[in-house]
With several copies, the nearest count.
Chain A
């Protein structure tokens, strides 16, 4: 059980390392989108501080989303996905591995760099900490839900835009609780409630989403 998950993670990480561009690009997309907002809105520190959680979260969401189309597409094109579907392990476990690898490559780096970007928005230390925490807890849910969308749109024309169309509505709860936790902290209300809801959603997504993705993949392979 665990072994196949680890094998998949190891392979996907190895691939990401070989390609390099993969990791760096999702991260820099995040950085760039976040940096665009002050440019669009103006440099007033007070205003920016208020926006920070929302902007960072929306950017994290978009960055994750943009890396989704390739989650299964490469394996699909070169026939690896067929082989994975034919392995004697449940496809859901394999998708779990791929989802975790996706998060390690596209979610975790966001959490690591978020504090630096938060500083650009002049966030206080505790808010920075909560922000990092929410992104750390929330992005696995984004990867999990996103995997379902990626599996559903695998091999379709215009799949990329279709994928965002499918996935964004499902991302909204994560966004609301993620940004909400930071705002609550900034305004002194305490973000614990939000955080535990976020954690609950992530747990549910990680447990449930891979099986939905696996079902969708089987359809895509027909």
Chain B
């Protein structure tokens, strides 16, 4: 369970939001909304502990996230604006490295399987430089196929994806919620998540 209490965010001179709080229980999805520059990305970065809030508190399983950094990170999967893939490496290599840094070793078959699921079959060994924008995004998303960590934090995951891939990702998120996972995500597209308790949160 993730709880945020009375969060305040200052960037430069702007107070982006203040007094923001919510609770995210297993099986729930929070759909974060707001205009450009409202502070959605800033809020997500606070939640994952990269941006210290001006005031307020964020608790994971009842304890402040600052006090249990490594445990919290082990429970957390974040996908940001950037894909975090290396253009020089192949999708397979990228996937392996990402899994290893997340503390989850992966055998070859499982990796190939995940890549095939995101539609990259046949491209596992092509350097990512040659992939299209959408395919690059898919390399990053492949992690979600095998990820069993309880909390997903997704910043505009649908960007650059085509319609089929958007549907596929919505399914993946639903499955995660049905397994008792939690998720918080932002998106400017209207996407229907078929299962799980979806709640909207508007900032700015």
Q: Which A residues lie within 8 Å of B76 (CB)? A: 86
B48 and A86 form a contact (CB under 8 A): yes
A-side interface residues, number (CB < 8 Å)? 26
Chain B min CB distance to A153 (Å): 18
Interface bracket on B: 20 to 34
Q: Which B residues lie within 8 Å of A89 (CB)? A: 70, 101, 103
Interface status of B85 (Cβ within 8 A of chain A): yes
A87 and B88 form a contact (CB under 8 A): no
Q: Which B residues lie within 8 Å of A77 (CB)? A: 82
Which of these binds chain A: B14-22, B92-100, B108-116, B166-174? B92-100
Chain B min CB distance to A91 (Å): 9
Q: What residue of chain B has the Cβ atom nearest to residue A82's Cβ?
A: B80
B83 and A19 form a contact (CB under 8 A): no
Interface status of B188 (Cβ within 8 A of chain A): no
B101 and A84 form a contact (CB under 8 A): yes
Q: What residue of chain B has the Cβ atom nearest to residue A221's Cβ?
A: B50
User: Which residue in A78, A85, A87, A88 is a CB contact (below 8 Å) of B82?
Assistant: A78
Known contacts A14-B89, A15-B88; A82/B101 CB under 8 A: no
Interface status of A45 (Cβ within 8 A of chain B): no
Interface status of A80 (Cβ within 8 A of chain B): yes
Majority SS at the chain A contact face? helix
> Which residues 67-116 of A have a CB within 8 angstroms of B?
74, 77-80, 82-90, 94
Distance in angstroms between the alpha carbons of A218 and B103 in the assembled complex: 20
Interface status of B73 (Cβ within 8 A of chain A): yes
Chain A min CB distance to B67 (Å): 15
Distance in angstroms between the alpha carbons of A85 and B84 in the assembled complex: 12
Distance in angstroms between the alpha carbons of A14 and B86 in the assembled complex: 11
Q: What residue of chain A has the Cβ atom nearest to residue B51's Cβ?
A: A222
Chain B min CB distance to A71 (Å): 15
B100 and A7 form a contact (CB under 8 A): yes
Distance in angstroms between the alpha carbons of A74 and B97 in the assembled complex: 16
15 contacts between A and B (CB under 8 A): A8-B101, A11-B97, A15-B89, A79-B81, A79-B84, A82-B50, A82-B82, A83-B78, A83-B101, A86-B78, A87-B73, A87-B101, A89-B101, A89-B103, A94-B101
Write the residues of chain A forming the contact surface with B, with a CB cutoff of 8 angstroms: 4, 7-8, 11, 14-15, 18-19, 74, 77-80, 82-90, 94, 218, 221-222
Going nearest first, the 8 A-B pairs with the smallest beta carbon separation are A79-B82, A88-B74, A79-B84, A18-B88, A7-B100, A87-B101, A88-B73, A80-B84
